[in-house]
Structure 1
């Protein structure tokens, strides 16, 4: 009896449909096809690879090499699904893939969504006159196979990419953007293989060509230019030179910190010869540079990492551009150490010193414990450092009881308070009345327990009266003690430190032995003064009462219905962005330079220049090409009360290319607006910046005047609100029987 097939709507797709779906994973855009074909050429042991594209690769991609080549049977097999000469099976995959390609999908999937012509002749043919093979593969079908005359090696031409998948073609980006992706791929492999002569041509113009002589510095000069190449320093680290971890060696070139860009475009990293991205590698690189670079700047890097095959997984991403390590933290440490060592060796970093503006050392003080202050100061090595930390807290956060010393107009502590806390050269610790004689001889260095506690960030609701010793020391410091007096008091203060610390602990009475903590309960403003409770009403923002700062990054405000956190950087960025929009509403203010400034561009920047010349002019940047890779800037925009540097032309081009806009949406106004969003970021208040109450109020008032105060120009939220119900839910105040 014949079994009746089940009634179901689930069916198996035909091979042609499956091939086109798979092509969407492997061939996302023209650059994806270039990558697959370029890897095949390098795996074929080519000495020369020429890449030619037209219209960003949408009309034509041609990759020609002088590699091993293929016979007719090889060419026929190469276009079938999952066919490859590079691995035999799972064992090869798990032991670490040594070749760039290994999936056996490239030619089959590219041919499923384009018209592909392959010409190939073996390099080791029986005779020089042996004919090659030409195969035409169109829409997933082999249409012709015939002999042809061609040089040894392989030539693959891809015409009319995505001709039979119009939805995919529709969502390609602009020609300039698509070519930028192609350029990035070819550049990566040209740098990874300096012993191979790689060239790239776009719309009939050669973009760059490397010599293939094995000189990495020469390859860098070919793709980035002489200016960048001269700023690169060599890096070699292996074995005992690296911290413990999976990496066997790290070598390559990294740039001087001053040679940088606003894009990650130029971070070229390789694992076992494969161009990849990995967070652990990037974080290690940026960690080594520290604050020598701004938060939005990136160096030029060409870095090669060698790692055992079983310590890295390359089969993570369909396009093989990401890898996974079995110990990311160790890789991060090894890369950081290798890059930092090279920068230190060339005098480009300060060893054992803060990079850029340093933050004060942290001093955590438990409520009521003066001993902690003494211990922390001793651990930092000098009382001056600890006192500097305490004095700087006067600029800090509400809710941390701060010194009663009033700030000056600019928000810093008054001179008298600073002198009073910084004159003592030893970590003698707070003094009690029992050690007043030692305190008198110590002069400016001594403070009462109550005042020391306040300076350290632990004030009580009602500060204790200051002792006569403290008054005397403050008077002395305000009139100014001589250097000799400070040195003379150091020994006596140090000798008394041990016995007086004990006296301090035993002579300070607990105001309420029943209470475990004696923390401040009075609400404070950002300057440390008692909060007035005043609320500020806004037209767009909710009514707010500023409570303080969280991590010197978020403004903490009370609303009528709960709590609000405001990202101070995002808020200031929105304010600056709308100011710039108004300034650029008409023709932007521009400043003519006294003489033209010539800028050398990288290959991708030079190619983008022609496409975006009009957009640059709209912004106030006027520049003319002087040769294939150099432009002369004659006029720059003047915004935010300053004139932009001519070098910013490079950043503008990078922001245009990174926009990744849809084809046809590349309007000049849209490009200008995109740059304004990036430009607004640079002068904006950053995180980890302490603000005074006045500057907070001014910022919130300016934010309220914005057309959209709730999002920065890049789409991040400016304000996050928590209503009373959410707060009550988090504290589980609605459990049965709870009365308030």
Structure 2
């Protein structure tokens, strides 16, 4: 090392190539995407994708496209070669091919062992080329069908830093599944087959009917719920086609909202926002519909260079396009009678019930997100939950007394019970101006002394503390309470509810694969189910403090499993599931709380091991200190102290 510091040096070309390739090919799904796009650009009518171990061990993509001669395949694996661009003018006017970056084979070959078998249409002999780490090891004649098959093995064998960041097999395959699914939906005239570990996941007919393709990848239940997007509102789009689902057929994540621009799959948040807005209040909070939309517009009006893998785009007239999509989808839903033209009359906002003396009557008509709480079936009052009682009508398919148990037991339940008197001392109700008892030493695992001032927007509890103001997010706080109680329950025997008769759920191809990977974890939290094809029969469901969770939450639980590290144990997966399950019985935003409910919620939160964050990492408490308040009101301006002394 130089005495002045580390030496600055230029990297050799081989190292630069590997770094660049690793940045573009970040996981098996990246490889699949590039190869599928090349097959489509080659005019394929059939594409088969085979992966082993989520694509970590092996990927093979075969198409019946135009194929390549020996001369062409030798050129195709070199850097800066493509059949899709002539010069910079092609980039400036926009490109209408899929794999227009052009260097897929070279880039993939730089970080893997790659074999290409290809034969041009009408040719008698094919060619097999073997590439390892970017170097051609062999190229010889081969017998093979017309088209091209690319097999990739030992991905990232020479870039261990990239390989280290791969997720577990089920997660990597989920990304592969998503890529193939979206291109199958974008190209219903192409026959797609997806196989994982030698088993077919789904296949489409390639007959050109999008609804049939939807049936193949999403199942009959979803296909029946989809309606075609018809007509086009005024705006810059030249065309808008596809399908959207009814407001009842939804999922907890936006995974199933697929956007295509001139046939290319892209991530376009404005489009997703427009689709969700089109449903208005008919779509439940935090739910997303199924949607497949293909936008047609001149290529030169779309900036495809926002993302290195061309996965995101920027529209030249984004606001106008967003409004056009929202209006078109809304009109489609209205025409099919799936949404109302306006909100129904009556109370559309939660009843104003600021912190006030606690009533002895049951709080039966408190609203949650515009629905009366008994109707919502997901949130009971914080005071009811802390006391282990719930006056809601049991679910029709529930067997009462089949293991719900006493929800007030366990570490946090005992804390909540044992602190009833402590709560009255430590929690100051506005009518009594008292505070929590003073601790001898600060304990940062507990809440500070508080005096509740009120509730803001029926979502946040505002409290006064010695050091300033504390604002509590009631949903995040209740999530933390439920999460720790669920975790405590799992220390013994999981509380479940047996269903009177098993409930059958139809899964998408993606969900069916995830079920196989996470069946053990689901059973651990209370979902007992068996799968046959795309259908699961659910026999028991989790019971969260007298709230029997509905069987169809199993679908959301499957999606929640995605994203874990390869070394995650069942216990770690279960812990992630608990965080999501804790969300369902938690009190929501836009819910008025009585004084007693606030007291019980804060007492239960105070008994948690970590009262300052929900299980998903969101803060439960935001502190606004005395100094910040003084600074915001500029109480230190010149002359203020002098006038105060006068």
Shorter-chain TM-score range = 0.7 to 0.9
The residue correspondences of 1:404-415 to structure 2 (distance < 5 A) are: 409=361
Larger mean CA deviation between 228-237 and 184-193 belongs to: 228-237
Distance 1:357 1:306 in 2: 41
Distance 1:262 1:608 in 2: 15
Distance 2:190 2:131 in 1: 28
1:671 — aligned with what? 573
Q: Secondary structure at the residue paired with 1:681? A: coil
Question: Given the alignment, which residue of 146, 155, 158 partners 2:149?
Answer: 155
Per-residue CA deviations over 1:662-695 (Å, capped at 9, x if unaligned) read 1122x11111111111111122222222333332
Number of aligned pairs? 569
Q: CA deviation at 1:640?
A: 2.3
- How big is the alpha-carbon RMSD for the aligned residues of Structure 1 and Structure 2? 2.4
1:302 — aligned with what? 292
Q: Any conservation in 2 of the 1:26–1:106 contact (CA below 8 Å)?
A: no
Q: Secondary structure at the residue paired with 2:582? A: helix
Q: CA deviation at 1:114?
A: 0.4
* Residue 738 in structure 1 maps to residue 640 in structure 2: yes
Q: Secondary structure at the residue paired with 1:233? A: strand
* Residue 601 in structure 1 maps to residue 500 in structure 2: no
1:166 — aligned with what? 160
Q: CA deviation at 1:77?
A: 1.3
1:644 — aligned with what? 549
* Residue 661 in structure 1 maps to residue 564 in structure 2: yes
1:113 — aligned with what? 111
The residue correspondences of 1:133-144 to structure 2 (distance < 5 A) are: 133-144=127-138
Q: Secondary structure at the residue paired with 1:676? A: helix
Per-residue CA deviations over 1:554-579 (Å, capped at 9, x if unaligned) read 22211112111111111111112112
Q: CA deviation at 1:596?
A: 2.6
Q: CA deviation at 1:636?
A: 2.1
Distance 2:191 2:278 in 1: 32
* Residue 351 in structure 1 maps to residue 341 in structure 2: yes
Per-residue CA deviations over 1:297-320 (Å, capped at 9, x if unaligned) read 221111111122232211111111
Unaligned runs of 5+ in 2: 366-428, 440-445
Q: Secondary structure at the residue paired with 2:311? A: coil
Q: Any conservation in 1 of the 2:430–2:451 contact (CA below 8 Å)?
A: no
Distance 2:554 2:361 in 1: 38
* Residue 619 in structure 1 maps to residue 528 in structure 2: no
Question: Given the alignment, which residue of 283, 290, 299 partners 1:293?
Answer: 283
Distance 1:706 1:610 in 2: 34
1:54 — aligned with what? 52
1:364 — aligned with what? none
1:431 — aligned with what? none
Q: CA deviation at 1:409?
A: 4.9
Distance 2:229 2:100 in 1: 30
The residue correspondences of 1:253-292 to structure 2 (distance < 5 A) are: 253-292=243-282
The residue correspondences of 1:353-502 to structure 2 (distance < 5 A) are: 353-354=343-344, 358-359=348-349, 393=352, 395-396=353-354, 409=361
- The change in CA–CA distance for 1:408 and 1:345 in structure 2 (over 3 A counts) is farther
Pick 1 or 2: higher relative contact order, CA cutoff 8 A, min separation 6: 2
Distance 2:31 2:346 in 1: 43
Please identify the structure whose Cα radius of gyration is greater: 1
Distance 2:183 2:438 in 1: 56
Distance 1:692 1:646 in 2: 31
2:493 — aligned with what? 587
Which is richer in helix? 1
Structure 1 length normalisation: TM-score? 0.73
Q: Secondary structure at the residue paired with 2:561? A: helix
Q: CA deviation at 1:650?
A: 1.5
Distance 1:629 1:183 in 2: 15
Per-residue CA deviations over 1:202-229 (Å, capped at 9, x if unaligned) read 1111111100000000000111111111
Question: Given the alignment, which residue of 205, 209, 223 partners 1:211?
Answer: 205
* Residue 635 in structure 1 maps to residue 540 in structure 2: yes
Distance 1:167 1:13 in 2: 17
Question: Given the alignment, which residue of 437, 458, 461 partners 1:552?
Answer: 458
Distance 1:596 1:108 in 2: 52
- The change in CA–CA distance for 1:356 and 1:711 in structure 2 (over 3 A counts) is farther
Distance 1:33 1:18 in 2: 19
Larger mean CA deviation between 631-640 and 337-346 belongs to: 631-640
- The change in CA–CA distance for 1:269 and 1:669 in structure 2 (over 3 A counts) is same
- The change in CA–CA distance for 1:530 and 1:648 in structure 2 (over 3 A counts) is closer
- The change in CA–CA distance for 1:355 and 1:148 in structure 2 (over 3 A counts) is farther
Structure 2 length normalisation: TM-score? 0.84
Distance 1:639 1:546 in 2: 28
Q: Secondary structure at the residue paired with 1:237? A: coil
Unaligned runs of 5+ in 1: 1-6, 361-391, 399-404, 414-528
